Structure 1
């Protein structure tokens, strides 16, 4: 099965069949071997501070973790010889976050947000990604480092 078709199927699963992602409004918009992107819009239910009207820190950490997982998953899938649904499901079934560091740089204000991730290292058992969150003005809200069991 072609890698791009697999990526599209995985994106479809994350966007339509994971209730938590739907609840937060996350949409995976790019999934590549070395880069991933998630977009979402402001919703009052994502507010962590009603006085300042800013994102809840848990939303920020969640989107960083998710986008890191997307880029690591893409890289992991790309390493499978002759990938098929069963091999991909087997690999993704073992995939999990080991450690997540989130650095909050400024309050999460904005109308729309984009989280991006790039691979730092991908070994045989552990992979590391670097993630960033920006608003529609390009303001850097947070960054993170995620370590994942692959």
Structure 2
């Protein structure tokens, strides 16, 4: 009996340059005003994913009696983080281009489809959002996102598809 064949491991993604990460973070946090409304901050950014944080504020309350975050804020935060993860992946894929040209690709990014599953009420002082690129094609990217409470409890999940060309 022959031993099972193993699939070749994919080549590791090239690391993004610190200046590209800083520029992408600046666009995300400062130039996209809606992300400021959400209070969305980037904690970590790498070639196939991103981690962000939202601090709870009165403007985000969706149910006054329970002080829980509005589902729209959860959905918008997951969507934004999915888009950011895609931009990081696009930036890594096109490392042969100058950083400003790769950043310009951000202007063509758009959400095609978004699905959010709310698993638990969003109650807490802050929330962490994770996004991972599952597939980056020449025209469409697919992502998986997660929304965590302050104790690490998974509160919502999301899946998104983004146009990248």
Output the TM-score relative to the length of structure 2.
0.85
Query: Which residue, 49, 65, 78 being the options, matches 1:51?
Result: 65
Deviation at 1:85, TM superposition (A): 4.2
Structure-1 residue corresponding to 2:25 = 11
Structure-1 residue corresponding to 2:94 = 80
SS of 2:59 mapped into structure 1 = helix
Structure-2 residue corresponding to 1:133 = 147
Could you report, residue by residue, the CA deviation over 1:8-47 in whole angstroms, capped at 9, with x for unpaired residues? 1110121122211111111011111122011111101100
RMSD: 1.3
Separation in 2 of the partners of 1:134 and 1:86? 33
1:42 aligns with 2:56: yes
SS of 2:65 mapped into structure 1 = coil
Report which stretch shifted further, 108-117 or 15-24.
15-24
Separation in 2 of the partners of 1:92 and 1:8? 14
The answer for unaligned runs of 5 or more in structure 1 is: none
Aligned residues: 149
Deviation at 1:81, TM superposition (A): 4.1
The answer for unaligned runs of 5 or more in structure 2 is: 1-15
Separation in 1 of the partners of 2:136 and 2:44? 19
1:60 aligns with 2:78: no
Structure-2 residue corresponding to 1:97 = 111
Would the alpha carbon gap of residues 54 and 80 (structure 1) be closer, same or farther in structure 2, given more than 3 Å must change?
same
